[in-house]
């Protein structure tokens, strides 16, 4: 737990090397992405295509939304992103549509975007900057790096610093005891029951908010659980990532009073987009989880 807190709350360096000639605005600039590919720029990009909702959110956070020439069909936040030209999905971006938009930079991910399509764009001379944040510190570093790439280095550092301060407030409110509180579980699917295990963003959020992840006893990052597994794990709080409205457990499952969260009515649904996208709103998710845990604690103490 100490390692998680230290990594999450320390002053972060960029995870990719940045080399600048030190001219006004930080250009010319050479930056290594998370593949180790160096992207070189003499000036900020004028037309950017984003291949992931989290990256689209970061561009808006940096105040550079005017350069977005295209986004995926899943880019729905902030609401203004929904009116931008669509280039397909995260896993099936349309290379021809992207090329037709004449971007001078494509922001992409190593996890969701097909390597062959990114390679095809690079083969046509379109620079692609790929990121692969695996935890909150890496998400904040990505904000800083994209800020530098888009000519908003100061804004990127300021936004990341503000998010770190919010994380620190959660840590202080939790008493600095990461992963020492109630047993909690994050469920990404209720039928079948699939939980977020070790090494996921949601596992990190639970621990930083002061809870213990009840799904850590199971193998795999997203273990599929039987009702018996859920009973054995005995989560005191269950958070549900609602991907399309309010997600609900089947009635026969929710009726299992052997599960403390069901018995005590401690099942909390959160916006699935907020808790699953590796972008700035993960800190909002952290705050919402911490608030829910605090309300539960207050109710329990009030009964004593």
* Cα distances (Å, whole numbers) of residue 83 to 27, 66, 67, 86: 31, 12, 14, 9
CA distance 266 to 293: 9
pLDDT of residue 33: 97
Nearest residue to 237 (alpha-carbon basis) of 204, 219, 210:
210
Task: Assign 191 a pLDDT band (cuts: 50, 70, 90).
Answer: confident
Mean pLDDT of the chain: 90
Structural domains of the chain, ranges and CATH numbers in brackets: 16-169 (3.40.50.1980), 177-303 (3.40.50.1980)
| Contact residues for 148 (Cβ-Cβ < 8 A; gap 6+) | 14, 18, 20, 26, 29, 31, 156
| Contact residues for 277 (Cβ-Cβ < 8 A; gap 6+) | 53, 54, 57
In the chain, helix, strand, coil percent, each to 5?
Answer: 45, 20, 40
| Lowest pLDDT segment from 9-18, 180-189, 238-247, 250-259 | 9-18
CA-only gyration radius of the chain, Å: 21
Calculate mean pLDDT across residues 222-249. Answer: 87
Largest interatomic CA distance in the chain: 68
pLDDT of residue 13: 41
Q: What percent of the chain has pLDDT over 90?
A: 78
Burial of residue 290 (CB within 10 Å: 0-12, 13-18, 19+) is buried
Q: Is the pLDDT of residue 4 over 90?
A: no
Q: Residue 38: CA atoms inside 13 Å, Cβ hemisphere, count?
A: 8
Q: What's the pLDDT tens digit per position in 14-34?
A: 445 566 544 456 899 999 999
Report the predicted TM-score, pTM, of the whole model to 2 decimal places. Answer: 0.90
Dihedral (Cα; 111, 115, 117, 120), 10-degree rounding: 140
């Amino acid at each position: 737990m100490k390692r998680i807190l230290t990594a999450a709350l320390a002053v972060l360096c960029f995870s990719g090397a940045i080399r600048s000639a030190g001219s006004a605005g930080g250009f010319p600039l050479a930056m290594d992405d998370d593949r180790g590919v160096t992207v070189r720029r003499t000036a900020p990009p004028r037309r950017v295509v984003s291949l992931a909702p989290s990256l689209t959110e970061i561009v808006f956070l940096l105040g550079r939304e005017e350069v977005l020439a295209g986004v995926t069909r899943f880019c729905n936040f902030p609401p203004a992103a929904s009116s931008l030209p669509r280039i397909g999905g995260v896993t099936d971006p349309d290379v021809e549509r992207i090329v037709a938009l004449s971007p001078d930079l494509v922001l992409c991910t190593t996890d969701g975007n097909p390597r062959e399509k990114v390679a095809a764009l690079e083969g046509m001379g379109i620079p692609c900057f790929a990121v692969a944040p695996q935890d909150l510190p890496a998400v904040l570093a990505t904000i800083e790096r994209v800020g530098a790439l888009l000519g908003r280095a100061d804004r990127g550092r300021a936004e990341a610093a503000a998010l770190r301060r919010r994380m620190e407030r959660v840590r202080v409110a939790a008493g600095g005891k990461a992963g020492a509180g109630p047993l909690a579980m994050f469920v990404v699917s209720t039928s079948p029951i699939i939980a977020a295990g070790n090494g996921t963003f949601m596992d990190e959020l639970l621990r930083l908010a002061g809870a213990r992840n009840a799904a850590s006893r199971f193998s795999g990052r997203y273990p599929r659980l039987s009702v018996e597994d859920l009973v054995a794990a005995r989560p005191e709080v269950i958070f549900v990532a609602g991907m399309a409205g309010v997600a609900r457990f089947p009635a026969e499952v929710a009726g299992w009073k052997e599960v403390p969260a069901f018995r005590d009515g401690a099942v909390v649904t959160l916006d699935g987009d907020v808790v699953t996208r590796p972008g700035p709103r993960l800190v909002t998710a952290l705050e919402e989880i911490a608030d829910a845990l605090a309300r539960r604690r207050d109710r329990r103490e009030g009964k004593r």
